[in-house]
Amino acid sequence: MKKVDIRRKALEILSGYDQDRINMGTVCSHSALETFSGAHRFGFDTVGVLEEGREDYYLTQAPELMDNVIVVKKFGDIAGKTRRRELESMNVVWIPNRAYSTYVSMDNIEQTFSIPHAGSRNLLKTEERGKHPYPNQTDLLRVAGIRTPFVFDSPDKINRLALVKAQDARNPKERAFYWVNNLAEYDEKTDILKKKGIITDEILLKSEIQAVILGNHINANFLYSPIESYKPWVKQTSGKFAREERVGRLWLLGFEKRNQSNRDGYLGLAAQDQITLDKTGFFAQNVEAGHYGVTSRESILPEYIDAARKWIKVCSEVYAPGQIGIFSLQGIVDKDLKFWVYDVSPRFPGAPPIGPTSPYIINILKKAYSGGDMIARMIKMAIKQKQLDEIIT
């Protein structure tokens, strides 16, 4: 099948929009509430796409956030011609999130769903490491020179604590990660999980075995706006510093950690109780139930910024136009205060605490802006500067 230039199609659709009547749209899950709140803060109307059976909260508890409602049997139905035309007629700029890239097939995202995206459409596939060929996000991290945990290319190479990153066969939207120290442990735990129906041979072929870095888990959240100008201090040939205008601004939005169930409950037990529970065949999982905001030592901030700049650079070179909008580098700070990135969310990370509880934006803009606010702010700026096409994919 001939590959579609989906960005070209999206820009063609954008050219027919009334940019004074842009609606910000997304699927009602993950980070929709933040998206809609940010849209309203910056004067945009909103379009919420709801899935039957999951719509009650949005319709009854948050009706003020949605100016337009579309209900589909399954989220994937938005890629159909009728729904696409409906969204086009409302001048929708689409905000990608994890629910969108999970429930809508990558083929539809890259070949069919031509609604203009504010953010990086072609980077969404990098989250699915085992499903897509080089370069996936682990490859990109390596090429960029960002610290990332070593990946074992086969189970018999495991010689230290490692994390097998696999999907849950019972629910492919969730994770079935497990820890092993060597091949014997890998075989033993893998056999148990197969018998429980948690993983399969097919899933294992797509899994990644990542060396464990001991340290403090922390997610660094950013927004990159390729159209925003600012004036950093730059060293002159004279040795003095002066402020010079640059275009393309990287914003540090803030940091957060994740509440994970049932793993957090397991780790809250005493060691002897964990051992007893292990004997029953209990399996701890990283199923995210929420987030909580944290801060970082100011002296470590350059570590995060350096990694983010490298990520932006490699993405612009490999997946042009590259990383646009909000993204998250999920990582670990080791005992030497070095930042290791083990996962990247190249779209809205769905972490509400990074706005209201984060000092990093407040210190500069003098306001508490959420991730949704910052996306809407970028779109508003693009429209004002007649550069909306530069942030659309």
- Over residues 235-255, the pLDDT tens digits come to 999 999 999 999 999 999 999
Longest CA pairwise span in the chain (Å)? 70
The residue among 49, 86, 84 whose CA lies nearest residue 67 is 49
Instruction: Quote the distance between the C-alpha of residue 115 and its chain's center.
Output: 19
Give the domains, in start order, of the chain with CATH numbers.
Answer: 6-117 (3.40.50.20), 121-145+215-370+381-387 (3.30.470.20), 150-212 (3.30.1490)
Q: What is the pLDDT of residue 351?
A: 82
- Give the predicted TM-score (pTM) of the model: 0.92
Decide the pairing of beta strands 45-51 and 68-72: parallel
Q: What is the pLDDT of residue 265?
A: 79
Side-chain half-sphere of 214: how many Cα atoms within 13 Å? 3
Distance, CA of 352 to CA of 231 (rounded, Å): 29
Do residues 108 and 136 lie in contact, with contact meaning Cβ atoms separated by under 8 Å?
no
- Over residues 337-391, the pLDDT tens digits come to 999 999 999 999 888 878 777 788 998 999 889 999 999 999 999 999 999 999 9
Q: What is the pLDDT of residue 129?
A: 59
Low-confidence ranges of the chain (pLDDT < 50): none
Cβ neighbours of residue 28 under 8 Å, at least 6 residues apart?
A: 48, 49, 50, 51, 54, 55, 58, 66
Q: What is the pLDDT of residue 132?
A: 52
Q: What is the pLDDT of residue 1?
A: 56
